[in-house]
Amino acid sequence: MDKLVISGGVPLNGQIRISGAKNSALPILAATLLAEAPVTIANIPHLHDITTMIELLCCMGVSVVVDERMNVEVDSSTLHSRSAPYDLVKTMRASILVLGPLLARYGEARVSFPGGCAIGSRPVDQHLRGLEALGAEIEIDGGYINARARGRLRGAHILMDMVTVGGTENLMMAASLAVGRTVIENAAREPEIVDLANCINILGGDVRGAGTDTLTIEGVERLRGGRYTIMPDRIETGTYLAAAAATRGRVLLKNTDPRLLEAVLLKLEEAGAQITTGVDWIELDMGGQQPRAVHLRTAPYPAFPTDMQAQITALNAVADGVGTITETIFENRLIQIHELNRMGAKISQQGNTAIITGVPFLKGAPVMASDLRASACLVIAGLVAQAKPWWTASITLIAAMNASRKSSSSSAPAFAGWRADAEAGTMAQSLTLAITKGRIIAEVLPMLARAGIFPDEDIATSRKLVFGTNRADLRLLVLRGSDVPTYVQFGAADLGIAGKDTLLEHSGADFYEPVDMGIARCRLMTAGLVGLAPRPGRLRVATKYVNVARRYYAEQGRQVDIIKLYGGMELAPVMGLADEIVDIVDTGNTLIAHGLEPRALIADISSRLIVHKGALKTKYALIQPLIDQFRQLAAG
């Protein structure tokens, strides 16, 4: 996506589930290099930077498996290269975070220097000085950092000249496998540091003091495998809150943690927002009122985060009064004010301080986004621009934003009241229905036709995945079965049609199942070789329904080893790979052809209509009639 065209001028209202924190996921992915056994990371956000980090690990020989829930299993035992090449590191500065883990575990690392950044320089000298204090030999040659250790790294007392999040992370990871104790003073205190420390400790490390300015790491000989869940993204949370506040709207954010952004919440309350919080949710309500101007100064955590400065600048642009924003972290991070002024804002700059006189509304204009946070700022500005055809905000996105974000349209269905035209299409108070490809969509299309709904192209012959319909408020997504509930759960689709087998396997529960469509009927069963009774003791079971199989055999009191396959299930018992399979059975002819017989019924399967809970609340007038139509079609 190279451009966003936004028609705003209305309040944002709705609810969104917050993703995992990118700035936590990247160092934790790098930390998996420290472990001798596979590590599974859950709640990984779907972002380009994450893909780049995974690509970097893979190019070093690491085995990485990503499932449909964006759980990532990393096995570094297959690593064959200790080099991070320029072509990957230049696209993402966080690639430097593999330096410490490679050096600590393998005794050597060759990592390209990271490139520059639109918001200012981010030197890595603190990383290198700290590693040298731990006993590393560092040489800079041809744009690469060549690091070696004679034996294991050794614990040391390290005083950071300046607070650096990346430097703290790199040294923490390196010290976790060093001999003896390492003390890092003037360490970064960000929640992402705490998350990384918690992950290392889960894997058998000993990191203490995370969240304070002094870290104490007792080195261990090895780290084991394990599973860890990434914390919610506090900046994504704050961005949606700022957008709702600027547009005088109301938003409920789920799967987040209000403790992570107390400084941001205080400023939003100062701006006039009514904020209510729970253990894992935040609700903001402006009551339709114009926000009040606020003054803030960015500083390292727990002060106001630099990554939220641009978003509050946009809020101040349409606030009542005069506010000031002082940026102390990055020298070029006020660059977005020139683009805001193109939209009618009244902002002047004195050194590293922006002085903002609020105006009642902004006007749409073509603007350029220079980095990720400036992009978020301009999106918010587009949302508060007065809605007139000749005042549409057109935002051109350069590589800095594309490299670090998921599509902003992925959360749009959960917010009522705004329209974003982009490559993927147009969403303006519309519905997205995700349908499972293959047999299910073949049986759904005639039902849609009876309801007077027709795709704009022949789905059977088209290679597209997104289709418009003759209804301006409805589009269709054609996905593989396991993806449908994921799209609905996270709000990328408002409704979906998927097999009950897929829903049983899916562990999420943020949707309703209001209608049994009565189509694509079959059975989910166990099966084995004809005439061969299940052997006593532990069974080997081949299936793609891992969660379902585990639950079923646990209920039967049987111990099993699950072998996950994606196809050719019937071959597993024949070739001696498994004792039984768990799979869908229609006529049973395929089982018979391979000398298998069904053994036990797990569930009768048919396709179900599922609906995102938040979408049903915010788009009730559109969704409920569609549910009623499907209910009538299924009954008839």
199 is catalytic: no
Cβ contacts of 350 within 8 Å, gap of 6 or more: none
The beta-strand segments (E) located in 193-339 are: 207-208, 214-218, 226-229, 250-254, 274-277, 281-285, 296-297, 322-326
My answer on whether omega of the bond before 114 falls inside 30° of 0, hence cis, is no
**Cβ–Cβ under 8 Å, residues 563 and 578:** yes
Tokens (6 digits) for 608: 């179900």
Q: Could you count the other beta carbons within 10 Å of the beta carbon of residue 548? A: 19
* Strands, sheet with 353-357, edge to edge from the N-terminal-most edge strand: 296-297, 322-326, 353-357, 346-350
Catalytic residue, candidates 117, 199, 377, 522 = 117
One DSSP character per residue, 95-152 reads GGGGHHHHHHHHSEEEEEPP---TT-----HHHHHHHHHTT-EEEEETTEEEEE-SSS
Q: Which of 318, 408, 555 is closest to 6 using CA atoms?
A: 408
Q: Could you count the other beta carbons within 10 Å of the beta carbon of residue 182? A: 26
Q: Which of 141, 188, 135 is closest to 161 using CA atoms?
A: 188
Q: Could you count the other beta carbons within 10 Å of the beta carbon of residue 557? A: 6
C-alpha span between 266 and 270 (Å, rounded): 6
**Cβ–Cβ under 8 Å, residues 172 and 201:** no
* Strands, sheet with 466-468, edge to edge from the N-terminal-most edge strand: 466-468, 474-479, 431-436, 495-499, 607-612, 511-516
Instruction: Show which residues are catalytic.
Output: 117
